Chain A
């Protein structure tokens, strides 16, 4: 079957649900990687992107209790934290000079009013006007719309007005209802997640999309997830990057195992092949590890995310990576994979293109 799929991909044709599942079942990872690379190269040439960004989690207090999450706490529970706008401002001040983007996601805080989030955005825009704000998951945006009684569209427009540049892709997990119920029973449905993103796109807000894989979903569930994203992207074109998230079992209620390195690479490659209308596939180094995310650049990924600086969520679940990487480390990883390192902004605009010294090793 892989030969037929190969021909379709080379011809630029879209692959079907069944074909995508067949790719997962196929053993020839090297051919898969080459196919995914050919698609990535058509879209982004020999470039691989990174960004100087930092993460900020305003709080880990969350009314949801997702079973795969090791980050969330109840209010008053040991380890619970909430940052004031001043505290976030101080974190921003400590960031390195070249910072281009701040990535903000947090728990669904039971008491904080919508106004807090708008003030947070305004503070950042006022004091750090050159930094893009990529913030909030669809889950948070849906929650804001309920605590503010504004409705989805007006919630998004208020966020945008206050400085939101782009939305994150988190909270997608797996769309399939039966799996989602076991993963995160309190979380918004897959349909609602897609609706939030569709509305964001219609408001002119670019977003990312993610998929949490390697727990109890089937290959079919993964492809169903990808196909639903592909369909929405056909309609709006508002997605920038797709980021497959490799499950981390430590300290979670669900437990289980880390997906294999081979599964991680296959998932990257198949995402690249199915999501033919997504400009970028990101190998998020925090979750894959810097080694595997580098190899993923040869399996269809064109982005390894950024410097991050302070990562809390995956580390709570047993990430084996550091909490941040330096710009030099990212450039080195990309170069040694034989790609041209491109430092980007939140919208994939090139900030600096670094030379590709062919060091061969």
Chain B
């Protein structure tokens, strides 16, 4: 398989279904090496800040959201937000990832005020608001996506995280996240964002109820958009974590909606439906092969653990993602690998790569 030759959907599907994982991994590793010949693996020091957990979407794979009247519902106070940013900068952080639920009581001014208040006080990259949030904000304020994005950019938004993509297949979204924006709208937000000069990442959450075709469709949608805009800095595949989620509790019903070609036994054990490590490496490798126009692929230590993330560096990944000074959403689903910046630096070094801290745009700030 030539590195220069772009693979089509049919080939991708065949690789996903029938390839030898070690062959696929070796090809992905070769592509990674060609793209990043200096043997450097990067990471970013940042913090996830969730300004609210109130969300009207109530996605069935999510363990983080609360209703507005829940005793656990919150909106982060300004002082708490600033304190978190101060701590982040103190720890060498260059970015905050700001995401939250779709809170019905918050309007555009809440977001612009938040952005302005941050930018007034801190020199930090604000990586914020995934497409469902942008779309929600736009809809509530009666503005176009482009207008909304320009206003947010003007207020201080630097880049957009790739969350909320889940699987860009409306068949899957209808089951998993019926209230969340459709695939086309996710892509539209990203296209508009790239159009106004806001870079973003792209994610894919697999291992729930999608089929292989859905994964390939997702990769293809991302590649096609990237051909037009070039605005994606990185791709981040990660696997669904079923703990404490609606979907894991109601599994048998959901399962019956899966393709009948491979019916699986209904079971209440959440471990069983998650993607396994072999699935993860296969999808990661395939992503590296398919997304020939995206420079960076992140390993997901948050969902896979450090040892698997190390293995991922030889199956197509070249970036260790974020140190995540704070992470709340995956933790709510019962997964919590506690990891320090030192752990990340050592993990990269142990696998024979040179660790380097980067900024949002993959410029290297510091070598280790």
Contacts and interface: CB of A to CB of B under 8 A. Distances in A.
Interface of A: 27, 29-31, 33-34, 37, 257-265, 288-292, 294-295, 298, 320, 326, 328-329, 332-333, 336-338, 357, 359-361
Q: What's the dominant secondary structure at chain A's contact region?
A: helix
Interface stretch (B22-30, B100-108, B155-163, B184-192): B22-30
B17 A360 contact: yes
Contact of A329 (B269, B281, B282, B311): B269
Nearest to B313: A262
B3 to A, nearest CB: 15
A352 to B, nearest CB: 16
B279 A261 contact: no
B311 A361 contact: no
A138 to B, nearest CB: 29
B269 A361 contact: no
The CB with the most chain B CB atoms within 10 A, among A33, A291, A332, A359, is that of A291
Given A320-B305, A326-B269, A361-B279, A260 B347 contact: yes
Nearest to A297: B278
The CB with the most chain A CB atoms within 10 A, among B264, B277, B306, B352, is that of B277
A30 B29 contact: yes
Given A289-B305, A326-B269, A257 B22 contact: no
Contact of B282 (A263, A264, A265, A361): A361
Contact of B310 (A262, A326, A328, A360): A262
The CB with the most chain A CB atoms within 10 A, among B18, B275, B351, is that of B351
Interface of B: 16-18, 20-23, 25-26, 29, 212, 262, 264, 267, 269, 271-272, 275-282, 304-311, 313-314, 337, 346-347, 350-352
A196 B351 CA distance: 37
A257 B346 CA distance: 9
Contacts of A259: 350
Contacts of B278: 294-295, 298, 336-338
A291 B276 contact: yes
Nearest to B283: A361
B310 A260 contact: yes
Nearest to B307: A261
Nearest to B272: A332
13 contacts: A29-B314, A33-B22, A34-B20, A262-B311, A262-B351, A291-B304, A292-B308, A294-B277, A320-B305, A326-B269, A337-B276, A337-B278, A361-B16
Contact of B307 (A264, A359, A360): A264
Contacts of A265: 311
Contacts of A262: 310-311, 313-314, 350-352
